[in-house]
Amino acid sequence: MDQALPVASTATTRRMRKTLLGTVPVSSPLYQLHPVTRFITLVFLGVVSLFIDVPEINILLIVMVFIYLHWAKVDMSNLKIYLPLTITVAIFMFTVSIGFPSRLPGYHTFQFLGITFYFESLYWTFASYWRLMAMLIGTIQYFSTNRERETLVAIRTLKAPFVITYFFSLALRSAGMFLEDMRTIREAERARGLDETSLALRDRAKLYVMYMIPLFTLAIRRTDEISNALYARGYTPSGKLENGVHRSDYILTKYPIRRIDIIVISAMIITFITVIILRVQFGIFAVAQSPLRIFLLSLWS
Amino acid sequence: MTAVSIKDLGWKYSGRKHFAIEHVDLEIPENSFVSVVGPNEHGKTTLVSCIKGLIPNSFHGVWRGQVEIFGQDVRKMSTERLAADIGFVFADPEAQFTSMTVEEELVFGLENIGLPLNEIQERLNWVCDLTMIGNLLDKSPYEISGGQKQRVAIASVLAMRPRIIILDEPTSMLDPLGKDNIFQILTNIKKDTDLLVIVVEHNIEQIAPLSDLMVLMYDGNIAKAASPAEFFENSDFLLQHGIIPPQATTFVDRLKQQKLYDGTLPVGLEDAIDITSRVLRNHSTPKN
């Protein structure tokens, strides 16, 4: 069943499902895939990029993620909020690379605005940036299209120990409550006349440190309450009953694994193994094989 | 049959000087509706926590006496057995939510007590009808109204079909409409099930008409335990112990003090109207 939120669009009113980082139409074809398939997509995009140095391939992966999001009918305009993050990461990485470059013998150099640039060092940063972006966009796509419940279903399907899945569930819950408590405390302070904008940076820092006292007190109280609630409802960390039998898992029955899931997961596993073999055994996907790099170096000669 | 038997019960929380409750004796029959009333900090929640087994299992302190649930010592019962036999609804519904959707919240306890999937589905349908929450299943329990949250909390416990259900101030965080909804559900539970229901509640007006037994906790002891009609007999005693009797009861008590009525005191408005009508009929002057 879907959490349906009516959202007015320009053409029609669509039923939307709230995800961890956004909303997705209930009618999205994405939901034909089992949560475990979507979760493996996250892992695949996060890990496969580690074996690929060629930036063109990582850019291609990012393009594929955007095609996937378009197919899933995700509102791409929401992704604009991540643009400052991508720019900040780029500024940080390239500043470090230009300021503190690797200066190995044989590196190609050029001068610009009185600064010496080392091409190989700069290009490695460029390749690393796109690798990082592929991982980041892969993560954003997952959290933009999935809910907490689907993540839990995925890790339970992968037979993670019950206590770990439950710990994860409570961590997701506590993160939300922590932020909500912080919002309440800040509103209470503003209601009593506190104007944060008039504070110096040091005073603002002190204010945030002071938030920790009520927040941790509340967190300890909540821990106590949730512990009692779990006990009252018969929770045992092992997930086993007195007779040693495992507790049943009702929610998993709501998500059957279909043929399409087997095909998609198999394709990702085969691709992943192929990439590892090609990278480790044959050195393919190394940065030296980047067509752009080869082209730029040809300009030197 | 006696469902809950409490003998000389005492409990002192770790780090406290005095016992929160002491020398408590109480016998509660099965299939009855019991309300525990009294001022704050006088031992109501401690008493029901002892019945549920939260004390001493989840708290540190000194225990005296004995609590038996259907003849079994509560301290010797396993977590699974306690969960299956005794349901507990906390005052703050959010404090007891452990899942990310209402549906998961409702089935969590059922999974823990080892029910098969088909029975979980059947109980889920039943409890949604009883508590009117079928339209909330896919929502997050944190995104619904206060009244809906408390209905979900009650439903999640009812679904486990315990033999005893304890509700600790279930209406304390609700608006008047939300309170009415909860009392409607309590009425349904009383009418449609054979559970022993124990409710800690401050709303005397609404809880009294439902109750078979009313227990007044004061200063860690049971100051009075009686049927509602008997419980409200001495309103001065109740007022001294922080209890304001229902207005219907107070009104008829005044009639009684003026020798206009000589029967048992009512707790509900309907009974008070009925008694008043009779008094008026008996004392009206016949016209020529």
pLDDT band at B286 (very low <50, low <70, confident <90, very high): low
Our measurement of the distance from residue A238's CA atom to the centroid of its chain's CA atoms, rounded to an integer in Å, reads 29
Residues of chain B positioned with their CB less than 8 A from the CB of A173: 97-98, 100
Q: What is the pLDDT of residue A143?
A: 87
ipTM at complex level = 0.74
Q: For B104, which of A4, A226, A251 is closest by C-beta distance?
A: A251
Please name the member of A176, A228, A247 whose beta carbon is closest to the beta carbon of B58: A228
State mean pLDDT over B117-132.
91
Do B233 and B140 share a structural domain? yes
| Cβ–Cβ gap B120/A250 under 8 Å | yes
Give every CB contact of residue A207 below 8 A, 6+ residues apart in sequence: A196, A199
Alpha helices, DSSP H, located in A110-200: 119-145, 148-157, 162-191
Q: Does B104 fall in a domain? A: yes
Same domain, B165 and B275: no
Task: Please give the residue range of the domain that contains residue B110.
Answer: 2-245
Best to test chain A binding among B89, B102, B104 (most A CBs inside 10 Å) = B104
Q: Is the residue at B288 inside a domain?
A: no
CB contact under 8 A, B107 and A242: no
Domain harbouring B36, CATH code:
3.40.50.300
Q: Return the H-helix or E-strand segment holding B8.
A: strand B2-13
Report pLDDT for B287. 53
* Same domain? B166 vs B263: no
Give pTM, 2 decimals.
0.74
Residues of chain B found within 8 Å of residue A176, distances taken between Cβ atoms: 142
State how many domains chain B has.
2
> Do residues B131 and B213 both lie within one domain?
yes
Mean predicted confidence (pLDDT) in A163-190: 82
Do B9 and B114 lie in one domain? The reply is yes
- Ranked by mean pLDDT, the top range of A1-10, A29-38, A78-87 is A29-38
A101: left (phi over 0), alpha (psi -120 to 50) or beta: beta
Tell me what pLDDT residue B240 has: 92
**pLDDT at position B209 over 80:** yes
Nearest by CB: A3 against B52, B83, B138: B138
Predicted local distance difference test score (pLDDT) of residue A66? 92
Whether residues A253 and B111 touch (CB distance < 8 A) is answered with no
Considering chain A, what is the average pLDDT of its residues?
86
Q: Which residues of B touch A5 (CB under 8 A)?
A: none
Q: Tally the residues of chain A.
A: 301
Q: Are residues B217 and B254 in the same domain?
A: no
The answer on B109 and B30 residing in a single domain is yes
Choice among A98-112, A170-184, B5-19 with the minimum mean pLDDT: A170-184
* Domain spans, chain A: 35-153+259-300, 162-242
Q: Are residues B278 and B228 in the same domain?
A: no
Question: Can you tell me the mean pLDDT for B21-29?
Answer: 95
Q: With bands split at pLDDT 50, 70 and 90, how would you rate the model's confidence at B285?
A: low
Residue B83 within any structural domain of the chain: yes
| Count of A-B CB contacts under 8 Å | 110
Calculate how close chain B gets to A164, using CA atoms only, in Å: 14
Q: Is A38 on the interface with B (CB under 8 A)?
A: no
pLDDT digits (tens, 9 = 90+) for B248-276: 888 988 888 888 888 888 888 888 899 99
* A1, pLDDT greater than 50: no
- A232–B81: do the CB atoms touch at under 8 Å? no
Are A236 and B80 within 8 A, CB to CB? yes
Return d(Cα B170, Cα B92) in angstroms, integer.
Answer: 8
- pLDDT > 50? residue A193: yes
- Contact A27/A73 with Cβ under 8 angstroms? yes
Min CA distance, B259 vs chain A (Å)?
Answer: 50
B139 lies in the same domain as B266: no
Say if CB B86 and CB B163 are below 8 A apart.
Answer: yes
> Within B165-246, where are the H helices?
176-192, 204-207, 228-231, 235-240
Same domain, B69 and B201: yes
Give tens-digit pLDDT for B151-205: 999 999 999 999 999 999 999 888 888 889 899 999 999 998 889 999 999 999 8
Looking at the fold, whether B94 and B158 belong to one and the same domain comes out as: yes
Q: What is the pLDDT of residue B198?
A: 96
Q: Is A1 on the interface with B (CB under 8 A)?
A: yes
Q: If you search the block for the tokens 């940036």, which residue do you land on?
A: A129
| C-alpha distance from A12 to closest chain B C-alpha (Å) | 23
| pLDDT tens string A237-251 | 777 777 777 888 888
pLDDT at A9 over 50: no
- Whether residues B251 and B234 share a domain: the answer is no
